[in-house]
Structure 1
Amino acid sequence: MTDGVTEEDRVRLAPGVMLRQDRVRGHWQLLGPERVLILDEVALEVVRAVTARPPAKVGTAIAALATQFDAPRDEIAADVLELLGDMIAKGFLTR
């Protein structure tokens, strides 16, 4: 599910959501009102890439991630679009 996310979109944290490191438990998380999403290393890199300042288009973030992980861009794009769609549907990110 991509929730209609395209490479032309610009994605940001939803209102009231913060990216935080839980130093006690040793992980990064998105904290929102009455909800939390624990991020693995890949999800953290995706969130950082799409929410960087100034905000970049999703396609620009995908290209950077493909280079960073030395992976085929098409595979990265499919995974990133799916992940972003899920995070938007859950209310952690917005366009």
Structure 2
Amino acid sequence: MTAPLSTDSVPRIGRGFRLQWEAAQDCHVLLYPEGMVKLNQSAGEILKRCDGQNDVAAIVTDLEAAFNAQGLQKDVLGFVEVAAKQRWLEWS
């Protein structure tokens, strides 16, 4: 990503990765050719909303509504930044 990460950024799952629910693990996982990343609940909830259609602001709004929470923007931006460095996310 060339521009700084912001709430206007529109993330999507990176090429080579596939997000799916893994019943055997009881969690979301990111699959890639070399293996699998087991995600905690928060990471799975954020990544499943990174569809290349919604910006980070919309993802935060959806998460706050889904979990009856407030003030998630800082945490979501922090996770998205880490996920981007891992190449789990790209930008639309």
Alignment TM class, shorter chain as reference: 0.7 to 0.9
Distance 2:11 2:67 in 1: 21
Q: Please report the RMSD computed on the Cα atoms of aligned residues, expressed in angstroms.
A: 1.6
TM-score (norm: length of structure 2): 0.83
- Quick check: 1:86 aligned with 2:86? no
- Structure 2, gaps ≥5 residues long: none
Q: In the alignment, residue 45 of structure 1 is paired with which amino acid?
A: E
Shift of 1:79: 0.4
Q: Which runs of 4+ in 1 moved over 3 A?
A: none
Q: How many positions carry a matched residue from both structures?
A: 88
Q: Residue 24 of structure 1 aligns with which residue?
A: 24
Of Structure 1 and Structure 2, the greater helix share is in: 1
Higher relative contact order (CA 8 A, sep 6+): 1
Cα deviation code 1:10-66 (max 9, x no counterpart): 100111110122222322101123243211122111112222xx7111111111111
Percent of residue pairs bearing the same amino acid type: 20
Q: Is the 8 A contact 2:13 2:50 kept in 1?
A: no
TM-score (norm: length of structure 1): 0.80
**Equivalent residues in 2 for 1:1-95, closer than 5 Å:** 4-51=4-51, 55-72=53-70, 75-95=71-91
- Structure 1, gaps ≥5 residues long: none
Q: Is the 8 A contact 2:7 2:55 kept in 1?
A: yes
